[in-house]
Amino acid sequence: MLELLKTHFGYDAFLPMQEEVIGAVMAGQDCFVLMPTGGGKSLCYQLPAMALPGLTLVVSPLIALMKDQVDALEANGLPAAFINSTQTPDELRRVVRRIRSGEIKLLYVAPERVIEPMFADFLQTLDVSLVAIDEAHCVSEWGHEFRPAYRELANLRRVCPASPVIALTATATERVRADILSQLGLRQPGTYISSFNRPNLTYSVIPKENDLSGLLSVLGRHRGESAIIYCGSRKATEDMAQALSERGFVAEAYHAGLEAEDRRKIQDRFIRDQTPIVAATIAFGMGINKPDVRLVVHHDLPKSIESYYQETGRAGRDGLPSECVLYFSYGGKSRQEFFINQIEDDAERERARERLDQVISLCSLSSCRRKFVLEYLGEAWADQDCAGCDNCLQPREKYDATEIVQKVLSAVIRTGERFGAAHVIGVLRGSRGERILKQGHDQLSVYGIAASHSQNELRDLVEDLKREGFVSVGEGEYPTLAVTPRGREFLKNRETLMLSRRVAREERADTKGRRIRGDDGAYDAGLYNELAALRRAIADQRGIPAFMIFGNRTLQDMARKMPRTPAEFSRVSGVGRAKLEDLGEPFLDCINSYAKEHGMPETGSGDSRKSGNDRRAAEPSARADGHSYHETGRIISGGVSLEEAAATRGLSPQTILGHIERLVESGIPVEWAHLLPHLQRRAAIETVLEILSDNPLRPVFEELGGEYSYDEIRLVRLARRYPPQQGSRSSEEGERPDPRSMMGRRG
């Protein structure tokens, strides 16, 4: 199996649990596989599919993803196909012929089709070796993606009695698991449950501020990378996308109110790295199979811990470090409570309230957030310091809260225990709010005595006091604060109180270089950039997402091992037989010319760590170094042509163009208008781009009769998306921000 793993997928070892599952499947046993997103579930049936004699049938709920899944398999040289309603009768006939001839090893079908009697008849004429049921939680009404057709999949047993069934899901809840086992009729299945921890994700909760400055700096760390910002309403997604666009980010809104066609286009641009940021409602979800989402933000509170886990889970499927940021405000909490109070059904309302309480607990936690979430999902987690959440990375400190607590309690008493936290805090901070003045609370002795404390600090403190049992919240319509007997005792006896608070917010240097388990060490960041630009150019020409060419992990391994020959290239993780043949040449060319430019020896040792001299080695978790792009931007801004810049830098013109695209898309000033073809040529290209989609470029190239180069087309396309500013060079020169910091270099 290890040999097949390398040949077909390019990997040298199994991920945890894959080997056991595959062993069981090969032995003909039914299997139930629970692994988190990114755990490597697909391989559990794809590899057996290559080893078994007949066909592997894959039931998959998302028609929109089937083509991508099949494309990705074909890129690895695996004979796969799908059958769904998007095909013409002709295409369908062709697929059926390939299936009958035994050429196809993996067939993707939607559940509704599988249960049609005609399809069952068709299946009975085939040699089906294995049935895989992906996203198996769709069988459960308790899950969030129930599909009635899944209920009838148990019938497949009668149609293919000899084939083992493997059911896979990333859903962690107990009730859904039980449903899957009972509904799918698995026969004494081997059950494989791996940890739901996602070691490469970092979790943090940040107080929500009134402006976007905090969010902008988070996004700034991820310039040019894919990010999802979850917002609580359709309107909020649109406001967010607009606010970000005005501040120079490329962002779009996504919600269920958009036309299906528009939603598809937005998803597509996201997957193809044209729109890095999507501000979305939770409607943006299951169809997002993008492995390199580096940031998931919850700008409003998630509905439950499960949805938080699910939504943050869309970050970092490729196993590389990614960030999850949750914005919390007490105002947001009140808004949710307001909506919950509208729910008519008593039991339903109670459940919603419970779910919200759990989310609030997660937010106000001072211990490990990962531990909280995993334990909520039913997984025992002994580790106290996960090194990957804000509370573990930035511990809280104990402090003597006696004085400030006395002030807060006094303010509650002096205002008559008839007001909520917002009012009391306003009084403490000396606010000139209308209600405070009207009540004459500006005349109280407690007015303004805590002016040096921020609103959020005092909010946190009030929460602490509730937890300590010093204040209680009224039962009536408004959540008024009152001091409890325990609180009065505290004041009367002049007790002292120690509480904990976050150590002053200053980014700890060591949090950035955190190593993920299984990290393989340093790689050459400059080379990585070249390889990424090449990948981008090839992906654009073929009209497929960049990650289908090679994943980021594979590019990193290439930049680490620096293969110089096909034999060395095949040793890179993620390079199987098909990709070696298909892509080895351009990537080896790129590596060899980079090596020459940097004066590295002709033949690589196969490991850059032993041979590097002037190498800029990067921490594996660091973003690709912007240095090489910056250099290209500087040269191009000097007014030279692509070819001249290429000669100066010892790179290909295509790579130079790739740099410019990345710079322009990241909003970094670069003077490139002079590279555009002359007006007439430009107009001709624009006309075709107007009619045809601008991705892939091959149809555009062909429509233009081959008279215009890919470079020209790419430049015109770039200008359509990001019109260059002409003649602004001199005015901008002095105040150009440092592009390095804008590339989001960490640390």
> Restricting to residues 49-78, which ones interact with ligand ADP according to CB under 6 A?
none
Task: List beta partners, residue 400.
Answer: 498
Nearest C-alpha neighbor of 598 from the set 613, 618, 620: 613
Q: How far apart are CA 554 and CA 569, in angstroms?
A: 11
Q: How far apart are CA 218 and CA 719, in angstroms?
A: 28
Q: How many residues bind Zn ion (CB under 5 A)?
A: 5
Q: How far apart are CA 367 and CA 391, in angstroms?
A: 6
Binding-site partner at residue 560 among ligand ADP, Zn ion, none, CB < 5 to 8 Å by type: none
Binding-site partner at residue 744 among Zn ion, ligand ADP, none, CB < 5 to 8 Å by type: none
Token pair listed for 698: 């091959």
Residue 21 sits in the site that holds Zn ion (CB under 5 A): no
* Minimum CB distance to Zn ion smaller for 372 or for 701: 372
Token pair listed for 193: 């449950």
Q: How far apart are CA 432 and CA 185, in angstroms?
A: 67
Q: How far apart are CA 357 and CA 351, in angstroms?
A: 10
Among left, alpha and beta (phi > 0; psi -120 to 50; other), residue 211 is beta
Among 291, 388, 633, 669, binds ligand ADP (CB under 6 A): 291
Kind plus residue range of the DSSP H or E element containing 637: helix 627-637
Among 112, 135, 273, 318, binds ligand ADP (CB under 6 A): 318
Q: How far apart are CA 227 and CA 550, in angstroms?
A: 20
Binding-site partner at residue 389 among Zn ion, ligand ADP, none, CB < 5 to 8 Å by type: Zn ion
Find the shortest distance in angstroms from Cβ 360 to ligand ADP.
29
* Minimum CB distance to ligand ADP smaller for 200 or for 391: 200
Find the shortest distance in angstroms from Cβ 121 to ligand ADP.
31
DSSP 8-class letter at 316: -
| Interaxial angle between packed helices 525-542 and 552-561, expressed in degrees from 0 to 180 and rounded to the nearest 10 | 130
**Does a cis peptide bond (omega within 30 degrees of 0) precede residue 696?**
yes
| Interaxial angle between packed helices 627-637 and 525-542, expressed in degrees from 0 to 180 and rounded to the nearest 10 | 70
The answer to whether 319 and 553 are in contact (CB under 8 A) is yes
The answer to whether 430 and 411 are in contact (CB under 8 A) is no
Residue 42 sits in the site that holds ligand ADP (CB under 6 A): yes
* Minimum CB distance to Zn ion smaller for 190 or for 199: 199
Find the shortest distance in angstroms from Cβ 421 to Zn ion.
28
Which segment (7-15, 148-156, 325-333, 670-678) binds ligand ADP by CB under 6 A? 7-15
Among 31, 35, 130, 685, binds ligand ADP (CB under 6 A): 35
Binding-site partner at residue 14 among Zn ion, ligand ADP, none, CB < 5 to 8 Å by type: ligand ADP
Residue 40 sits in the site that holds ligand ADP (CB under 6 A): yes
Q: How far apart are CA 135 and CA 538, in angstroms?
A: 31
Binding-site partner at residue 386 among ligand ADP, Zn ion, none, CB < 5 to 8 Å by type: Zn ion
Residue 37 sits in the site that holds ligand ADP (CB under 6 A): yes
Residue 6 sits in the site that holds Zn ion (CB under 5 A): no
Binding-site partner at residue 368 among ligand ADP, Zn ion, none, CB < 5 to 8 Å by type: Zn ion
> Restricting to residues 539-558, which ones interact with ligand ADP according to CB under 6 A?
551
Residue 511 sits in the site that holds ligand ADP (CB under 6 A): no
Helix (H, G, I), strand (E, B) or coil at 472: strand
Residue 572 sits in the site that holds ligand ADP (CB under 6 A): no
Binding-site partner at residue 555 among ligand ADP, Zn ion, none, CB < 5 to 8 Å by type: none
Find the shortest distance in angstroms from Cβ 313 to Zn ion.
17
| Interaxial angle between packed helices 63-75 and 260-271, expressed in degrees from 0 to 180 and rounded to the nearest 10 | 30
Find the shortest distance in angstroms from Cβ 205 to Zn ion.
11
* Minimum CB distance to ligand ADP smaller for 43 or for 186: 43
Instruction: List the x/- string, 243-282, binding to ligand ADP by CB under 6 A.
Output: ----------------------------------------
Binding-site partner at residue 370 among Zn ion, ligand ADP, none, CB < 5 to 8 Å by type: Zn ion
CA dihedral 234, 110, 14, 376 (to 10 degrees): 40
> Restricting to residues 364-403, which ones interact with Zn ion according to CB under 5 A?
368, 370, 386, 389, 392
Find the shortest distance in angstroms from Cβ 268 to ligand ADP.
19
The answer to whether 562 and 617 are in contact (CB under 8 A) is no
Q: How far apart are CA 734 and CA 737, in angstroms?
A: 9
Put the strands of the sheet holding 165-169 in their side by side order. Answer: 80-83, 106-109, 55-59, 128-133, 165-169, 31-34, 190-193
Matching residue, tokens 């692509």: 642
Binding-site partner at residue 392 among Zn ion, ligand ADP, none, CB < 5 to 8 Å by type: Zn ion
> Restricting to residues 339-368, which ones interact with Zn ion according to CB under 5 A?
368
Instruction: List the x/- string, 471-490, binding to ligand ADP by CB under 6 A.
Output: --------------------
Q: How many residues bind ligand ADP (CB under 6 A)?
A: 16
Matching residue, tokens 């990957």: 388
Strand ranges inside 608-726, DSSP E: 617-618
Which segment (33-41, 190-198, 589-597, 681-689) binds ligand ADP by CB under 6 A? 33-41
Token pair listed for 481: 């604060």
Strand ranges inside 433-486, DSSP E: 471-473, 481-483
Binding-site partner at residue 557 among ligand ADP, Zn ion, none, CB < 5 to 8 Å by type: none
Find the shortest distance in angstroms from Cβ 206 to Zn ion.
15
Residue 43 sits in the site that holds ligand ADP (CB under 6 A): yes
Residue 516: CB atoms within 10 Å: 19
DSSP 8-class letter at 15: P
Among 21, 22, 32, 41, binds ligand ADP (CB under 6 A): 41
Find the shortest distance in angstroms from Cβ 136 to ligand ADP.
12
Find the shortest distance in angstroms from Cβ 567 to Zn ion.
43
Measured in degrees and rounded to the nearest 5, phi and psi for residue 312 equal -65, -25
> Restricting to residues 685-704, which ones interact with Zn ion according to CB under 5 A?
none
Find the shortest distance in angstroms from Cβ 574 to ligand ADP.
7
The identity of residue 220, as a single letter, is G
Find the shortest distance in angstroms from Cβ 168 to Zn ion.
28
Nearest C-alpha neighbor of 141 from the set 178, 108, 100: 178
* Minimum CB distance to Zn ion smaller for 170 or for 389: 389
Which segment (36-44, 140-148, 475-483, 602-610) binds ligand ADP by CB under 6 A? 36-44
Which segment (41-49, 51-59, 78-86, 264-272) binds ligand ADP by CB under 6 A? 41-49
* Minimum CB distance to ligand ADP smaller for 35 or for 700: 35
501: CB partners within 8 A, 6+ apart: 396, 397, 399, 457, 460
Helix (H, G, I), strand (E, B) or coil at 226: strand
Q: How far apart are CA 170 and CA 188, in angstroms?
A: 21
Among 39, 190, 576, 604, binds ligand ADP (CB under 6 A): 39
Token pair listed for 411: 């303010």
Binding-site partner at residue 677 among Zn ion, ligand ADP, none, CB < 5 to 8 Å by type: none
Token pair listed for 48: 């057996």
Find the shortest distance in angstroms from Cβ 17 to ligand ADP.
10
Our separate counts of H helices and E strands in the chain read 36, 19
Residues that bind ligand ADP (CB under 6 A): 11, 14-15, 18, 35, 37-43, 291, 317-318, 551
Residues that bind Zn ion (CB under 5 A): 368, 370, 386, 389, 392
